[in-house]
Amino acid sequence: MTTFDEEMMRRALQEAADDFVISDGALERILDEARDTASRDDGPRIRAFIQRNGRGRSSILAAAACVVLLAVALPLFNSEGPAKSTSALDFGAAKHVSVQGGAATPDAPAGFTDVQGTGFETGATTSGNSLTLTNASAKLSVTTGVDVAGQSSLRVEEVGTIHLTVGGKRFQSTLSKLTDFATTDGGFVASTQSHMGTKATHSYSTGSIILQVPEHNFTMLVDQVRHAGVATSVQTSATDVTGQYVDLQARITASEVSRSQYLKIMTRTNSIGGILAVQDQLNSIQSQIEQMQAQLNLLNTETTYATLTVAVSETGHQTTTPVAKRTGVDKAWHDSLHGFAAGVEWLIRIAGPLLFALLLIGVLLFLGRWTWRATERRRGGIS
Amino acid sequence: MSDAVDVHELRTWLEDGYASSVRTAYLILGNRPDAEDAVQESFLRAWKFRDSLATGSSFKPWLYRVVVNTCNSKLRKEIPHRNRRRPDDDLDDVAMIDDPIGRVTLSHDVISALKDLPTHLRVVVVLRYYVDLSEHDIAIVIGRQPGTVKSRLNEARRRLAEHPALQSEAPRPITVRKESKS
């Protein structure tokens, strides 16, 4: 037989099977077994949890896949979404603000166009409890947590730096104006430093002033200061130190409890050695309490008052190295590179969650299929 | 009362399908006691889960599916882990009966070739050429797509056509087969 003969196969199998003689009493044995089984299985029959038809299984698997995807995608999109608007810093007119991936980039702010090449960085980035805001001139909404300061427990440390350039004649008056801003906002001038330039020496006037205002007036102060001259850069940052603050408070309370316990022990100790040992412990705890209290006080001060450092310089004094403005092919090339890098960054960012989701779906599908097949085998039926 | 009715139903099933089922299992398992065990288990299981047979579905493929699944389960779990049963029960022994017209020799060769097939191919061959199920019904029985059945059947045919026992046109002497077996 060099080729397969179907008829011969049928005949051979039939003949081979016909040689199988059915045992006497085989049917009765099965029926007896069935009767025994029926008497054992008096309880209700457990129905299949999953309907045994293809559509039902597919629907359940699809629903499971959707749930997994949503579970993975929602946190991802929440983390990549634009910053929530809880406080608005209006830094004046802007020609255009483009928002991409949570960062806002203003194009050539009006009023600042005379400052060629000065770097303006705008954006909001959050990391853990801290938030950093670098800004230029745009109406920019950022989450600082300040507006939720209604929750008394929230402690936010805010600092900022502004570079101002003013005309030579306005230098002194600007410094005075800055001092006034701080005092009218309920704050004070922490330090000031200035250098008066002269035409004879061809030097420019420069100065810096550190202002401290109550934390809730910080935004207003930044707004006032940046209008006092031409702001070449504005940088503010807010750090949520609530966790640190609460932790310190808890540690201090715990240490104070320990201290009171040691004091009780000391009153009951009669031996000199015992008293000295307890005294050592008390000294150590007291030292720790004082250290932590100092840190707490510092945090308290830092979160009560926001600090703004203003660097003032006379127009013409270059504090930063100008960056040559790119044009034409050069600009296009750099834009292209930037776009490519941004694309790669995005791919890398989503690759992790996506891979995890795929892996999870794969495992679920495998488990579902395995369970289904095991059930099928166990039950031996068909849908 | 309901149990009596059910058992009566099972008796009807058995009278209708026991013989063909046990022979199918015998061809798949290649062993008489295993085939009887498998079919007994299959009928009890099918009877227990008879509600899962959807209305309008064909009874025959459903029952064969139960039988095939039980056979597969035995081949996978039980048979490899125990000593073989008495050799007298094996399929090869179809050649032991009287064979005046060479019928048994042919069966023996085919069965020998069949036994050399992997289980998944043997199942489709038995279902196709012994039970005479269509490819569609075989697909239902083994829980695969009809395309898979076609593919398996082609593979099985190719292997059978190339099998040494089926290469020669002339029937081989039975004694030679028996000697080679011992």
Three-state DSSP at A88 gives strand
Q: What is the pLDDT of residue A111?
A: 36
Q: What is the pLDDT of residue B81?
A: 64
* Alpha carbon of B54: minimum distance to chain A alpha carbons (Å): 6
Closest Cβ opposite residue B130 in set A13, A26, A382? A13
Those of residues 162-181 in B touching chain A at CB distance below 8 A are: 166-169
* Alpha carbon of A97: minimum distance to chain B alpha carbons (Å): 58
Tell me phi and psi for residue A347, to 5 degrees: -60, -45
pTM for the whole thing? 0.39
Quick: pLDDT tens for B76-105: 877 666 655 444 445 554 444 444 445 556
Interface residue B35 vs chain A (CB under 8 A): yes
Tell me phi and psi for residue A316, to 5 degrees: 105, -20
- Whether pLDDT at A21 is above 60: yes
Q: For residue A51, what is the nearest residue in chain B, using CA coordinates?
A: B52
A204 Cβ contact partners less than 8 Å away, ≥ 6 residues apart: A168, A197, A313, A314, A316, A317
* Alpha carbon of B180: minimum distance to chain A alpha carbons (Å): 20
Q: Do B10 and A26 lie within an 8 Å CB cutoff?
A: no
Q: Do B110 and A8 lie within an 8 Å CB cutoff?
A: yes
Q: Do B107 and A16 lie within an 8 Å CB cutoff?
A: yes
- Angstrom distances, CA of residue A89 to CA of A133, A143, A230, B103: 11, 11, 17, 99
| B126 vs A contacts (CB less than 8 Å) | 13
For the residues A83-93, what does the mean pLDDT come to? 37
Residue B1: Cβ within 10 Å count: 5
Quick: pLDDT tens for A115-145: 333 333 333 333 333 333 333 333 333 333 3
Interface residue B148 vs chain A (CB under 8 A): no
Q: What is the pLDDT of residue A10?
A: 84
Three-state DSSP at A210 gives strand
- Angstrom distances, CA of residue A38 to CA of A35, A362, B48: 5, 40, 9
Interface residue B96 vs chain A (CB under 8 A): no
Spell out, as residue ranges, where chain B has pLDDT lower than 70. 1-7, 52-57, 79-107, 167-182
Interface residue B88 vs chain A (CB under 8 A): no
Quick: pLDDT tens for A245-292: 888 989 999 999 999 988 888 888 888 888 898 899 999 999 999 999
CA atoms of A310 and A299, how far apart (whole Å): 22
Q: How high is the mean pLDDT of chain B? A: 74
Report long-range pairs for B4-11 (Cβ below 8 Å, ≥24 apart).
B6/A34, B6/A38, B6/B47, B7/A31, B7/A34, B7/A35, B7/A38, B9/B47, B9/B50, B10/A30, B10/A31, B10/A34, B10/B43, B10/B47, B11/A27, B11/A31
The runs of H, that is alpha helices, within chain A are: 6-18, 26-40, 54-80, 171-184, 218-226, 242-268, 272-304, 328-379
